[in-house]
């Protein structure tokens, strides 16, 4: 059962995740009800069956590091608590991850047959929760756009309908306003220089880098668990794993060990900061 200590930790995590405010996420935070990390983590904590985790933002002819790394962090934590996480991604990314993770491959591009395909996947898997991390969200015109305003619809695997068609709760993670779930803040997004997503979710988690939001949720799970998932995380190792499979930085578009233009050491420091918050919270219980 959660209490005021859980709420305080959540709010401290939420603040840490947007401290850099690179894309206005600290400003958007004021439009979310405090404790969203706590509420999202509680949904993750309750899962013991299948959980679908969609990720893999398209950049050029490949995928970016931001998203898959965080998805792997959530996957490991969910698996550690006895759930059955499944990564849902494009066929290209799925091929890269097959053998190391449970994956569900989806075709890219907008297709009238896609909703029926998604219904079949949902019927076969019966997920307890659907999570989207750093995926393009459908705009009001039905298309998909990156932060540069470029139409990337033909390169995107459309995960939106997993949230809208699933008979279970949904969590979405984003860092710019054009991702799935940002429809929860559609009015607040008007101040940002983007084509915003209109797709909504049950619980939205924001951060300066989407991977970091995943670590924030893992921090909450570690706080409740005997397992310290954060200490098991090696940011460089995971980014190397993805780079070997063709990932690029979403900002520089280069095959480097970085996340949204930030070196892997920045992510390492963020995880260390989360560990400190968790340890302080444990001491105050």
How are strands ordered across the β-sheet holding 103-106?
A: 103-106, 84-90, 50-54, 129-133, 170-174, 203-206
Fold observed for domain 4-283: inorganic pyrophosphatase (n-terminal core) (3.90.1640)
Average pLDDT over every residue of 65-92: 97
Give me the pLDDT at residue 285, please: 63
At residue 216, the pLDDT reads: 98
Q: Compute the chain's Rg from CA coordinates.
A: 17
State whether residue 152 is helix, strand or coil: coil
Q: How far apart are CA 95 and CA 167, in angstroms?
A: 28
Within the chain, residue ranges assigned H as helices are 4-17, 25-29, 36-45, 68-80, 91-97, 114-125, 160-165, 210-224, 235-244, 264-283
Looking at the chain, how many residues does it have?
285
Strands (E), 98-253: 103-106, 129-133, 170-174, 203-206
- In angstroms, the CA 228 to CA 225 distance is 7
At 127-175, the pLDDT tens digits run 999 999 999 999 999 999 999 999 999 999 999 999 999 999 999 999 9
Phi, psi of 58 (to 5 degrees): -75, 135
Residue 267, pLDDT > 80, answer: yes
The residue extents of the domains of the chain are: 4-283
């Amino acid at each position: 059962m959660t209490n005021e200590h859980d709420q305080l930790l959540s709010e401290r995590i939420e603040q840490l995740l947007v401290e850099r405010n690179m894309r206005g996420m600290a400003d958007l935070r004021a439009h979310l009800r405090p404790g969203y990390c706590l509420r999202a983590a509680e949904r993750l904590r309750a899962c013991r069956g299948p959980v679908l985790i969609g990720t893999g933002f398209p950049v050029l002819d490949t995928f970016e590091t931001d998203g898959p790394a965080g998805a792997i962090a959530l996957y490991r934590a969910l698996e550690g608590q006895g759930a059955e996480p499944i990564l849902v991604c494009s066929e290209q990314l799925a091929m890269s991850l097959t053998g190391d993770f449970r994956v569900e491959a989806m075709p890219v591009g907008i297709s009238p047959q896609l909703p029926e395909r998604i219904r079949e996947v949902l019927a076969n898997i019966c997920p307890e929760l659907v999570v989207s991390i750093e995926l393009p969200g459908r705009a009001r015109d039905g298309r998909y756009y990156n932060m540069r305003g470029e139409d990337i619809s033909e390169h995107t695997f459309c995960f939106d309908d997993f949230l809208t068609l699933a008979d279970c709760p949904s969590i979405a993670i984003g860092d710019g306003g054009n991702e799935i779930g940002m429809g929860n803040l559609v009015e607040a997004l008007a101040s940002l220089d983007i084509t915003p997503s209109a797709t909504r979710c049950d619980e939205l988690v924001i951060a300066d880098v989407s991977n970091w939001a995943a670590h924030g949720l893992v921090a909450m799970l570690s706080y409740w668990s005997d397992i310290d998932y954060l200490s098991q995380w090696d940011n460089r190792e995971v980014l190397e794993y993805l780079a070997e499979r063709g990932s690029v930085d979403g900002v520089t578009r280069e095959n480097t060990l970085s996340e949204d233009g930030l070196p892997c050491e920045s992510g390492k420091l963020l995880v260390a900061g989360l560990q400190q918050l968790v340890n302080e919270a444990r001491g105050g219980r």
